Amino acid sequence: MSVGIEEIAKKGERIYVKKEKTLSAAHKGEYMAIQVDTGDYFLGETGGIAIEKAKKRYPEDVFYLVKIGFSATQTLASMSRTR
């Protein structure tokens, strides 16, 4: 993948916004790893689980990771507390 982190974030956020309403009811609080070139996404109870699932399909890629139903800032804060 040759795109930069900023581009991954922009594309990932756009994809997430489109999917958020349909995913929020059943998956709020779960993590979503998005492959930004295809729009494929992978869900997990933790960010690590979502990324692990994504890496099985796209082992060389970088993913946009978000906590469903939360802003990016809340997602980053949540991830820093779990480390």
Say if CB 33 and CB 54 are below 8 A apart.
yes
Q: What pLDDT is stored for residue 67 in this prediction?
A: 93
Mind giving me the DSSP string for the chain? ----HHHHHHHHHHHHHHHHHHHHHHHTT-EEEE-TTT--EEEESSHHHHHHHHHHH-TT---EEEETTS-HHHHHHHHHHH-
Q: Residue 82 pLDDT > 60, yes or no?
A: no
Q: What pLDDT is stored for residue 72 in this prediction?
A: 61
Nearest to 34 by CA among 4, 22, 10: 10
Q: What pLDDT is stored for residue 5 in this prediction?
A: 85
Q: Which domain holds residue 36?
A: 5-82
> How many domains, in total, are found in the chain?
1
